Amino acid sequence: MTVMAERTSHMLVEDFEQIASAAPETVTLEFIDGRIEEKRVPDGDHETIFMWLLRQCMTARPELDLYPNKGLEVGAYRKGRARPDGTLAPVAHFVGHGDWSDPKGVLLVAEITSYDSDTDRRDRFEKPAAYASAGIPVYLLVDRDAGAVIVHTTPDTEHGRYADVHTAPFGEQLLLPDPVGIALDTEILKNYVR
């Protein structure tokens, strides 16, 4: 059995929010697992995958919006701040919210892997733990390295993990479970990997 030590941060969330608000538009910062992380600027394939997912969501569920890079309060005791590539929620759900929103009412968060050294730790381990802790029902990872879409469901908020994980290689038909209920044909994703 592997025991992981809980990471503690000497920085207050309020201090991070002040730093993040002063960052130039060319830099996106997140505060996950007690560390400030810089989110890499997406490449053209990354953006194309996001637009594909946006079209799928809006066609299947026009009463929902897929918000790009919406700041969410995630992680144990709301001590984390993340900007998922996509956040699926009802239309106008975030009206009146500031830079960082409570994830209550969010149906799905989506991440698309980047070709950088931190993507394994960040997208495959830290973010699923943070999103599960926040009680977000579905975490969708478009993993370009693995050539697969990985769907995490049934969040265990107490332990910071998803109880169910399903991997579908690019090319398969995939149904995102309730509360999302959107079918995805992932064949086109084969065109957007190196």
DSSP string, 34-69: TEEEEEPPP-HHHHHHHHHHHHHHHHH-TTEEEEET
User: Mean pLDDT lowest for which of 108-117, 126-135, 149-158, 169-178?
Assistant: 108-117
Domains of the chain are 42-192 (3.90.1570.10)
Task: Provide the residue type at 3 as one letter.
Answer: V
Mean pLDDT, the chain, as a whole number? 85
User: Does residue 76 contact residue 133 with C-beta atoms inside 8 Å?
Assistant: yes
Q: Taking residues 45-74, what's their average pLDDT?
A: 95
For residue 118, the model assigns a pLDDT of 73
Q: Taking residues 161-168, what's their average pLDDT?
A: 97
For residue 191, the model assigns a pLDDT of 94
Nearest CA among 102, 108, 60 for reference residue 87: 108
Residue 83 pLDDT greater than 60, yes or no: yes
pLDDT class for 114, splitting at 50, 70, 90?
A: confident
Cα 178-94-12 angle, rounded to 5 deg: 100
User: Mean pLDDT lowest for which of 46-55, 75-84, 122-131?
Assistant: 75-84
pTM comes to 0.79
For residue 194, the model assigns a pLDDT of 78
State pLDDT tens for residues 126-163.
Answer: 899 999 999 999 999 999 999 999 999 999 999 999 99
pLDDT class for 76, splitting at 50, 70, 90?
A: low
pLDDT class for 59, splitting at 50, 70, 90?
A: very high
